[in-house]
Amino acid sequence: MASIWNPTLETHVAKIDEQHQELFRQADILVDPDKHGRITDMLKFLGEYVILHFRDEQNLQEKSKYPKYETHKKFHTEFLATFREMNRQYSATGDKEIVTAISNLVINWLRDHIMVHDKEFAEYYRKNT
């Protein structure tokens, strides 16, 4: 699977863009057939990295007094709940189709979230910091 990262996903906030690119890379690696022996490690890393990214993004929102902070944070919380539930299902069953679903969740959710919510925040952030 080739990464779907492209310049239209850039927020022009360097830290956020770097983290987004890494999330896409990790989601791509997750479904690479040569990596199946490391799925559990990859899921753990991806889960930890998502938390790090959300924390960093939310810190920038608080610092800049972003008026939609609470709504944005709720999107992150809902995503994490879904990710954790899918991860739990994989741990319980070992079903590799769940891994593909997790990768698709990360890629699709992140792409849609960036294009609407993160770009809106980034524009605000660039104007107000």
The angle formed by the CA atoms of residues 13, 65 and 83, to the nearest 5 degrees, is 65
| Helix axes 39-63 and 69-93, enclosed angle (nearest 10) | 170
Residues lower than pLDDT 70 in the chain: 1-3, 33-37
The angle formed by the CA atoms of residues 122, 28 and 19, to the nearest 5 degrees, is 25
Say how far apart CA 105 and CA 13 lie, in whole Å: 23
Global pTM value: 0.88
Write down all domains in the chain, each with its CATH number in brackets: 12-128 (1.20.120.50)
pLDDT at 1: 44
